[in-house]
Amino acid sequence: MTQLLGKMLINGKIETKTGLHIGGSGTGIEIGGIDGVVIRDPVTNRPYIPGSSLKGSLRSLLERAEGKKFNKPVGRSMIHMCESAGDYNNCNVCRIFGVSAESIKGAMTLTRLFVRDAKMAEDDAKRLENADTDMPYTEVKTEVVIDRITSAANPRQMERVPPGIRFEFEMVYNIFELEDRNTLKALFDAMCLLEDDYLGGQGSRGYGRIEFKDILMEWRPSEYYLTGDESKRSQGINGNSATPSQIRQNFEQISGKLVFKEPS
């Protein structure tokens, strides 16, 4: 039986550096409607970043950076998934982001990373409520697509979150064995990759540049959950290292603060 040694909570802000478009169901079929709308919270009507979008982007970039084989169809795309226990044990992608139950038969595989939906920061939401934006909390960018055969111009409108808006993210990284401490570093590698890539759609047109800021890492060993002893929690173990690149540079020092009971 695999024993949980503890949970690493990673909280912080995602700030948009350019317009952000993560698509939702919208009004494109209506006359005069927006061709591409953003996904919104059905209760608050505010745009948000789905945990699945953030996790999928991190996984895809790490797969490509580590040269993984794309062998598993998911929807219209392909992802990497190990097919043997030996490969899985040495694969940062599968250990962090998980594999399907049928991928590695007869082996215990566990997903380390959970990613929550990232809600718009309250102060930024209030600021947008008072701003003269095209739509509630968002701007509309008109683009013109030129037909390569007829040269006809086809205008379209894309909704996006403006630059300078922050979303509050939370990731939970489970540690089941000693090696997971080292695997955690690959998550921050992926976050650095995403900062130099894009999140959401239309990235080749300049959308989706983001930055991770104000990161706070909190270590909660299994003893905290079993005993309720608040002294077991270690908050802010990353000190002044508040960005992915800073955490990578000081990772050995940070990971050394993960104190837990050795598995029996």
In a domain, 260, yes or no: no
169 within 8 A of 54, measured Cβ to Cβ: yes
Please tell me the pTM assigned to this model.
0.90
Query: Average pLDDT, stretch 104-121?
Result: 87
Rg, Å, the chain Cα set: 21
Q: Do the domain assignments include residue 155?
A: yes
**pLDDT confidence band for 153 (50 / 70 / 90):** low
Q: Dump pLDDT digits (tens) for 29-86.
A: 444 556 689 999 999 999 999 999 999 999 999 999 999 988 888 878 888 988 888 8
Query: In the predicted model, what is the mean pLDDT of residues 136-164?
Result: 81
Predicted local distance difference test score (pLDDT) of residue 36: 82
Report yes or no on 262 lying in a domain.
no
How many domains does the chain fold into? 1
Question: What pLDDT, in 10s, does the model give residues 247-260?
Answer: 999 999 999 998 87
Strands (E), the chain: 6-16, 48-49, 72-74, 77-79, 113-115, 118-120, 139-146, 153-160, 166-175, 210-221, 234-235
Q: Which residues of 129-162 are buried (b: 16+ CB within 10 A; e: fewer)?
A: eeeeeeeebbbbbeeeeeeeeeeeeeeebbbbbb
**Reduced to 3 states, what is the DSSP secondary structure of residue 220?**
strand
Backbone conformation region of residue 174, classed left if phi is above 0, alpha if psi is from -120 to 50, else beta: beta
Residue 120 within any structural domain of the chain: yes
Domain holding 217, by residue range, is: 6-255
Confidence at 103, pLDDT banded by 50, 70, 90 = confident
Asked if residues 55 and 204 have their Cβ atoms less than 8 Å apart, the reply is no
Whether 54 is covered by a domain: the verdict is yes
DSSP state of 35: S
Residue 43 domain-assigned (yes or no)? yes
Q: Does residue 203 lie within any of the structural domains?
A: yes
Residue 263 lies in a domain: no
Contact by Cβ (8 Å): 111, 98: yes
